[in-house]
Amino acid sequence: MGRIEVSEDEWNILIGHRDHAPTLKMRLRAEALMLLANGADEQFTARMVQRQPSTIAQWRREFTQTRLASIHDYNLGNLNASKLDATQRAEVIQVLSQPPAPDLVPAGFWTVPALSNWISDRFQVTYASDSTMVFLLHQAGLSFHQTEAFDQRRGSEDAIDARMAAIRDEIAPALADPATIVAAADEVRIEHEAITRRAWYKKGTTTKLKVDRSRQAQSWIGFLDQNSGHVDLEAVDWQNSDTIAAALTTFALHHTDKKITIVWDNAGRHKSKKLREHLASDQALKNIHLIAMPPYAPDHNPIEHVWGEAKTQISNLQRDTFDQTCTAFETFITGNTFPYRL
């Protein structure tokens, strides 16, 4: 597993949590993250903080998703300074436990600002910090997730479930065959626009900043091994039939002793005439079997979750150059294994 990246500010905060956090769990989490940031593996870290390696892996994953917010022990329940009384808190938890009514939350889902506004309107109570809102959301059984977009052309959920069940039946023999690799594949693209907005300088003075508005982008195709959880990552200049065929060839040449089954979406470049010609003429591709997922259902492709984790990881730290961002993206993916399966 690769080391986690932390900024200098995050490092200093972790030191504070390790030394002064109000619960043992918070102190151990902080110490574990500091060890991981210094390159310690999960087995060693688990021994140092006397926890299971699986617990350390979960702490790592939660930190990449929510950064320092993952340190806080929401079971602590320090409500002594709360401005809501017990009856009001109970009402808030009851409301949060139900699907949000349109008249309460027009967007259809709760956010910290939405909850804060509703509490202010309902009880005339306002909090200076968001921590109480986060605690209430956790207490009601809610957790923080990225939203997912669904294409209007998407089929019925029954049809999608039926197709996914058929795919699982089809790949079952291959998953049990040591001579076959089964991979969930897809492309990803990240973009970069470097805009410096703020800087630290002496109070009462001004400064001018040179702004770089150049936009850059990079695409990759990834192959998530459905047995090992490892991702083979190939950078591509563009997402078209030729570049995808070249990436398939590279992937196949890395595994010349294996048959390969790839499950991916219905993008035009994945089923084009040009790609079929490559498959028919390129000897390196003779052992590749392609399986199409249901249309417009990217949420069922396991590697989409890998992309989500990696983007969360790189979005929390601003790097000086786009090359550094790309390197961080690649390092996170190739240095970790992932639990997502078809």
State whether 127 and 249 are in the same domain. no
151 to 47, 148, 190, 296, 297: CA distances (angstroms): 46, 10, 21, 6, 8
Check which CATH number belongs to the domain holding 192 and give it: 3.30.420.10
State whether 270 and 219 are in the same domain. yes
Is 120's pLDDT higher than 90? no
Q: How confident is the model at residue 79 (pLDDT cuts 50, 70, 90)?
A: very low
Measured CA to CA, the distance from residue 30 to residue 13 in angstroms comes to: 9
Instruction: Please compute Rg for the chain using Cα positions.
Output: 24
For 245-276, letters b (16+ CB in 10 Å) and e give bbbbbebbeebeeebbbbbbbeeebbebeebe
Give residue 197's identity as a one-letter amino acid code: R
Chain centroid, CA 81 distance in Å: 34
Asked, for residue 37, whether it belongs to a domain, the answer is yes
State whether 180 and 92 are in the same domain. no
Asked, for residue 286, whether it belongs to a domain, the answer is yes
> Which of these ranges, 17-21, 102-106, 153-157, 311-315, has the smallest mean pLDDT?
102-106
State whether 112 and 176 are in the same domain. no
Measured CA to CA, the distance from residue 223 to residue 258 in angstroms comes to: 14
Measured CA to CA, the distance from residue 162 to residue 165 in angstroms comes to: 5
Task: Give the domain-ending residue among 42, 71, 100.
Answer: 71
Q: Identify the three-state secondary structure at position 192.
A: strand
Measured CA to CA, the distance from residue 250 to residue 104 in angstroms comes to: 53
Q: How confident is the model at residue 195 (pLDDT cuts 50, 70, 90)?
A: very low
CB half-sphere exposure, 225, CA atoms < 13 A: 19
Asked, for residue 229, whether it belongs to a domain, the answer is yes
Are 341 and 262 contacting, i.e. CB atoms less than 8 angstroms apart?
no
Is 236's pLDDT higher than 50? yes
| Residues 268-274, mean pLDDT to the nearest whole number | 91
Asked, for residue 325, whether it belongs to a domain, the answer is yes
Which neighbouring-strand residues pair with 188? Answer: 220
Identify the CA nearest to 66 among candidates 233, 309, 336. Answer: 309
Asked, for residue 79, whether it belongs to a domain, the answer is no
Asked, for residue 3, whether it belongs to a domain, the answer is no
| Residues 79-86, mean pLDDT to the nearest whole number | 65
Asked, for residue 107, whether it belongs to a domain, the answer is yes
Measured CA to CA, the distance from residue 312 to residue 180 in angstroms comes to: 32
| Residues 290-295, mean pLDDT to the nearest whole number | 95
State whether 166 and 134 are in the same domain. no
Give residue 38's identity as a one-letter amino acid code: N
State whether 130 and 66 are in the same domain. no
Does 208 or 196 have the greater pLDDT score?
208
State whether 187 and 125 are in the same domain. no
Q: How confident is the model at residue 245 (pLDDT cuts 50, 70, 90)?
A: very high
Residue 244 has a CB neighbour count (10 Å cut-off) of 24
State whether 66 and 101 are in the same domain. no
State whether 98 and 191 are in the same domain. no
Where is mean pLDDT largest: 28-42, 122-136, 198-212, 302-316?
28-42
Q: Would you call 221 exposed, middle or buried from its count of C-beta atoms within 10 A (0-12, 13-18, 19+)?
A: buried
pLDDT of residue 177: 97
By percentage, how much of the chain surpasses pLDDT 90?
A: 40
Is 74's pLDDT higher than 70? no
Average pLDDT, the chain: 83
Q: How confident is the model at residue 178 (pLDDT cuts 50, 70, 90)?
A: very high
Is 246's pLDDT higher than 80? yes
pLDDT of residue 194: 47
Q: Could you give the angle at which helices 42-49 and 53-66 cross, rounded to 10 degrees?
A: 100
Domain that holds residue 67: 8-71
β pairing state of 215-225 and 231-236: antiparallel
Are 232 and 254 contacting, i.e. CB atoms less than 8 angstroms apart?
yes
State whether 206 and 102 are in the same domain. no
Identify the CA nearest to 342 among candidates 289, 296, 304. Answer: 304
Asked, for residue 148, whether it belongs to a domain, the answer is no
**The two three-digit tokens of residue 73, written as one number:** 């022990």
263 to 44, 100, 226, 314: CA distances (angstroms): 36, 36, 10, 27
How many structural domains comprise the chain?
3
State whether 91 and 210 are in the same domain. no
> Which of these ranges, 41-45, 157-161, 239-243, 321-325, has the smallest mean pLDDT?
321-325
Measured CA to CA, the distance from residue 308 to residue 28 in angstroms comes to: 27
State whether 26 and 95 are in the same domain. no
Which neighbouring-strand residues pair with 185? Answer: 223
